[in-house]
Chains A and B, each alone.
Chain A
Amino acid sequence: MTSRIDRRFAATAAEGRPALVTFLMAGDPDPETSLGIVKALPAAGADLIELGMPFSDPMADGPAIQVAGQRALRAGQTMKKTLALVRAFREEDGETPIILMGYYNPIYSWGNEAFLDDARAAGVDGLIIVDLPPEADDELCIPAMERGINFIRLAAPTTDDRRLPTVLANTSGFVYYVSILGVTGSAAPDTAKVAEAVTRIKRHTILPVAVGFGVRTAEQAAAIGRTADGVVVGSALVNAVRDSLDASGGATERTIPAVTALVADLAAGVRAARAEAAE
């Protein structure tokens, strides 16, 4: 059975371009505005949507996403509200894949099996759980697969050819290549090295490979999209949310347009990726 994620990557590949994967924090800056942002993403050019599940201790995230999570938690975001957000989005959009990304403890606290059932019912297509390596596949990855939820694995520059098969074994949907050594939103990735790594990963899998951590601009998205099947942008988008807020941290009428404008720009970038190469 193909998933929404499989179908979406097949569609963008058929168009001869990489997919744009957008990350935003669920509940940032408040539940209502967050839903407004997510609903506006597909029309602005997002192909897949990653939603961060806010966590008090985001060990793999840089300052931008750390602060986005704190804004969401301060505004009262909970796992229940995050699933409600997905459900509300799904009522209007049956095709754009939604992937929840975050850390294991809020899921473990909910109860793994109950969480997977509730996430599936809400319309979640995939999970990226930063602190669940393949050594812990029996915890959540395999139960997720059994329910038809894709478990998307991160591969890092430190994941060598010897380890890649372990990382890829139970991965589905796509592979998320972490383009740098570091936390989200830090140094800009070296495009040549990323291309080399994507080619290396593709020798081990037929799954699409998306690249993220440190991609901010349409130009970077275009450059990385020459070899990658997808480009993930997160910190730049949550910073667009931050920059649109009023002095007390509340949403303004600029908040949703600020995000959609950047998404549209990035969407143009991924559409130009192979067009330029073909010229």
Chain B
Amino acid sequence: MTALPNTMRGGPDDRGFFGLYGGRFVAETLMPLILELETAYEAAKADPDYRAELDNLNTHYAGRPSPLYFAERLTAELGGAKIYFKRDELNHTGSHKINNCLGQILLARRMGKTRIIAETGAGQHGVATATVAARFGLPCVVYMGKTDVERQKPNVFRMKLLGAEIVPVTAGAGTLKDAMNEALRDWVTNVEDTYYLIGTAAGPHPYPAMVRDFQSVIGAEAREQMMAMEGRLPDALVACIGGGSNAIGLFHPFLDDKDVAIYGVEAGGHGLDVENGHASSMSGGRPGVLHGNRTYLLQDDDGQILEGHSISAGLDYPGVGPEHSWLRDTGRVTYVPATDKEALDAFEMLTRLEGIIPALEPAHALAYVTKLAPTMDKDQIILMNLCGRGDKDVFTVATALGMDI
């Protein structure tokens, strides 16, 4: 284990590294723009007008702050720690993705960019990007794997309604990593006028830090809300991890609170023992370089990237944000897998007990909560990020449960 710094919240360094992870591994064509983006973001962060405009949009457009909710019946059912949900599924567009999209589209405008591109897996980030592009009147192209286009039809239709052009990507297995490759190819071709609005806390520096900053509103609000409701911090945080943006948003404001245990839940798919049958890059992968950063990756012995598998299109990514890789190695955060089956069971449980239909992504986090809560005392507290709602997943769940709708 690496020696821990005084604060766990100081990264990345000025070259964009969190320890071994992160960095800027991109083609030279993109380097000047990435450096310009970093400068523009630093300037925006220091500008009170930028901050005020973002706060205003967060409040009046996205609906922040999202509520903190005590899940009373679920707590009673599990018979252990008190379970609270940060209700980011109630945001405009139905997930935490809007937090990041608002921040970045304001930055794109400041930089004078006139065209927005994005990649999407489950379609949540695509919908949020199409939404802010409509709100600011900018043309928007969303790259989405062909497999995901088929399994996330409701979101594809929403993006089209919002005026975005959807480009189905057939390369590879037609999932999130292939969509990201294609978005990078578009960017390199249209670098002069185009802003690449990355949806997760991964990619070349400054994206991982920038996306984390925008998503940290989740943890900052939850901290205040928990103090108001319980008068103390939670004992454990739980969030699901694909690229890891909702998780880093919840975790980051708590990283220096040593008494708060933190758990990130990766997609265990069919199980970690099934070759290429899961998307747990930290539990079942090793460090490598992809999509502009060094991080844990699913890869074969020759360094070829594997596709991975998850029932959730939003977790079906062979990498993870670099800050998570660092938090894993330092031991500050514990990363665990939840299988497709466990997520489905949790999905049904939450729907019946609390009247909340979660997205399949946070259903993975909930699957771990159902294991963790019974091992804790009744006066202890778990805070889970309920980062997305499940409307988009009803067809997938129906198929998995053998129902005809």
Contact = CB atoms under 8 A, between A and B. Distances in A.
A106 B289 CA distance: 9
Interface in B272-300: 287-292, 294, 297, 299
B36 to A, nearest CB: 10
A183 interface: yes
A182 B188 contact: yes
B289 A105 contact: yes
Nearest to A63: B171
Contact of A153 (B28, B171, B299): B28
Nearest to B184: A59
Contact of A59 (B190, B291, B299, B301): B291
Given A66-B171, A132-B25, A59 B181 contact: yes
Contacts of B27: 59-60, 130-131, 133, 154, 156
Interface residues of B, number: 37
A106 B189 contact: no
A75 interface: no
Nearest to B292: A131
A136 B23 contact: yes
Contacts of A80: 302
B172 interface: yes
Interface residues of A, number: 41
A112 to B, nearest CB: 11
B303 A108 contact: yes
Interface string A46-75: 000000000111111010001000000100
B172 A56 contact: yes
Best-surrounded residue of B33, B177, B181, B304 (most CB of chain A within 10 A): B304
Given A105-B303, A131-B26, A178-B29, A57 B189 contact: no
Contacts of B181: 57-59
Main secondary structure of the interface of A (DSSP, over half): loop
B26 A183 contact: no
Given A56-B304, A79-B303, A109-B299, A133 B188 contact: no
Contacts of B111: none
Contact of A186 (B24, B189, B301, B302): B189
B184 to A, nearest CB: 5
B370 to A, nearest CB: 35
A158 B25 contact: no
B25 A183 contact: no
Contacts of A133: 24-28, 31
Nearest to A163: B32
Contact of A155 (B15, B28, B291): B28
B110 interface: no
B51 interface: no
A56 B190 CA distance: 23
A181 B191 contact: yes
Contacts of B191: 158, 181
A107 B304 contact: no
Nearest to A178: B29
B352 interface: no
Instruction: Rank and list the top 9 A-B pairs by shortest CB-CB distance, nearest first.
Output: A109-B303, A106-B303, A156-B29, A182-B189, A56-B304, A131-B25, A56-B305, A59-B184, A154-B28
